[in-house]
Amino acid sequence: MDKALSEFETFLASWVADPNGAKQTLQHYRELLTQDGVHFSFKSRPGISYSLRATHVKQTTRELFVLLDVVDDEPENRWLSVCFYWDMVQDPQELGDFVPKGLMGEDAVCFNIESDDPEQQAYVAQRLQEALANAAK
């Protein structure tokens, strides 16, 4: 296991209170992204966020294709913000928030997962697969 995933696993092991089911959703998303050519980095900012970032070896101009952010402003009530570059995914149901220059200085669409909603989680999982396919081109 590389250093980033080891740090990520240490963070997950320390995460106890999870009333929103965010931990399980994050683990599921990470599993979806664990494929050949995908590399992870992890940035820990306690009290702010814990960020798992995925990039694909075929990407040459961007340092990631998705940012999985665990928002830590209330550690007992964490939630997820999953952000993509605006041009890497579709949002046919318009469930995401447009964030001008919100991802590495580029326009983004972010999906806030604040409850254990299987339909929303599946919708974001589809966006993950779409972003991965676009990054692998």
Into how many domains does the chain fold? 1
Tens digit of each residue's pLDDT (9 = 90 or more) over 6-51: 999 999 999 999 999 999 999 999 999 999 999 999 999 999 999 9
Tens digit of each residue's pLDDT (9 = 90 or more) over 96-123: 999 999 999 999 999 999 999 999 999 9
How far apart (Å, rounded) are the C-alpha atoms in residues 25 and 131? 17
52: CATH: 3.30.1460
Tell me how long the chain is. Answer: 137
At 53 the pLDDT is: 97
> Rounded to two decimals, what is the model's pTM?
0.96
Q: Which domain holds residue 103?
A: 3-135
Cross-strand bridge partners of residue 44: 50
